[in-house]
Amino acid sequence: MKAFAELCKALDLASTSAEKILALEGFFATASTADTRWAQYLLAGSKIQPRINPAQLKYWAILEAQIPNWLFADCQDLINDLVEVCSLIVSQTVESKNHSLDYWLKFLENLDENDKQAGIISAWREQDPLERLVFNQLATGTLKLRLPPDISLNGHTHPQQTSFLELPPTAKFTPTAMETGWEYTPEKISTILALLVYGQRGVGKQRHSYILTFAVWEGAQLVPITKVEMQTSDERFSELHKWMKENTLEKFGPVRSLRPDLVFELQITGVKPSARHKAGIAVREPRILRQLDNMLPTEADNIAKLKSLC
């Protein structure tokens, strides 16, 4: 699964569609038929039914790593991702056989109900850290890989998002493995109204993008909640850039603070509490839907609404 894990890492880091496509081409060039189909399914944003829950994952990782709970909590404070902490604190003890993605998904599928712990821990011991992260994300149903809509899977047909069973079977592909509970789990998508408060031009590799910071009300104050990247090639960019230049309050380096006049509708796929963010929450996968020119700044959402989405 190393190749698939590398793909996940590359997609995670890629800032442009071109880079994502490059990584995808690299993966599909050498992937087996079975792995290709699994990857297509997962890349369509589809999920598989969790086999274990995060609390189990944490408990077993703590046992395997032999560390106290408070030390796990310190790690989690730093990287804010329970599944990743679990993946990093345990060590590989035997050489990786580099089993396929297909192998590990079937492994999860066939996990002994009465002794999931032994199965999961034995898997960890032969995985490298990147493989282990993807494995744990698959096991807990937390892998997120959805591609932007402008990327199609390199000549491969777009898979259906409803069920595995609609994918054409192949010799290596065994749909029966899915019948016992691997199902598509839809994400909860909501929209919020937020004010644009900072703009930052990217430098170096990021020079073709602009980072926009959005805020919502907390009483009479604005509290930043998220950043969204906009490509300078975006058709909405030039007008927005002109507005930003005219409405800059202060400039520090590449960052401009902006008059909080523009309301945007953002799409998000979730909100969760976060001690690391000033607002006390972290929003997931924010996307700009549209600018709402007829709205007053005071009509933007307040933090209480976002917290209610947690």
Partner 1 sequence: MLKHTSKGLYCEQGDFYIDPVLPVDKAVVTHAHSDHARSGHQYYLAHKHSLPILRSRLGENIRAEGLEYGEMRNINGIKVSLHPSGHVIGAAQVRLEFKGEVWVVSGDYKLEDDGFVPVFEPVKCHHFITEATFGLPIYNWQPQAQVFSQIYSWWQGNAAQNRTSIISAYSLGKSQRLIFGLSKLRGNQAAEIYVHESIARMNVAIRSQGFELLEDNIPSLTIPSSQAKQSKYSQGLVLAPANADPTWLSLFGDYALAECSGWMQTRNFRKRASLDAGFVLSDHADWKDLNFAITATGAENIYTTHGFTSPLARWLKEEKGLNAVELGGKS
Interface with partner 1 (CB under 8 A): 9-10, 12-15, 19, 22, 26, 65, 67-68, 70-71, 74-75, 78-81, 84-85, 88-89, 91-92, 128-129, 202-207
23 versus 34: smaller Cβ distance to partner 1: 23
Check if the beta carbon of residue 215 is closer than 8 Å to that of residue 224: yes
Torsion region of 80: left, alpha or beta (phi above 0 gives left; psi -120 to 50 gives alpha): left
CA distance 139 to 281: 25
CB of 206 to partner 1, least distance (A): 5
Query: Which residues are CB-contacts of 209 (< 8 A; sequence separation ≥ 6)?
Result: 15, 202, 229, 230, 231, 232
CB of 246 to partner 1, least distance (A): 27
Torsion region of 283: left, alpha or beta (phi above 0 gives left; psi -120 to 50 gives alpha): beta
CB of 165 to partner 1, least distance (A): 33
151 versus 177: smaller Cβ distance to partner 1: 151
CB of 58 to partner 1, least distance (A): 13
54 versus 175: smaller Cβ distance to partner 1: 54
Query: Which residues are CB-contacts of 48 (< 8 A; sequence separation ≥ 6)?
Result: 42, 105, 138, 141, 182, 183
183 versus 229: smaller Cβ distance to partner 1: 229
Instruction: Give the N- to C-terminal CA distance of the chain in Å, as an integer.
Output: 33
CB of 48 to partner 1, least distance (A): 21
Check if the beta carbon of residue 251 is closer than 8 Å to that of residue 267: no
Q: The tokens of 65 are what?
A: 């790593």
13 versus 55: smaller Cβ distance to partner 1: 13
83 versus 153: smaller Cβ distance to partner 1: 83
CB of 150 to partner 1, least distance (A): 20
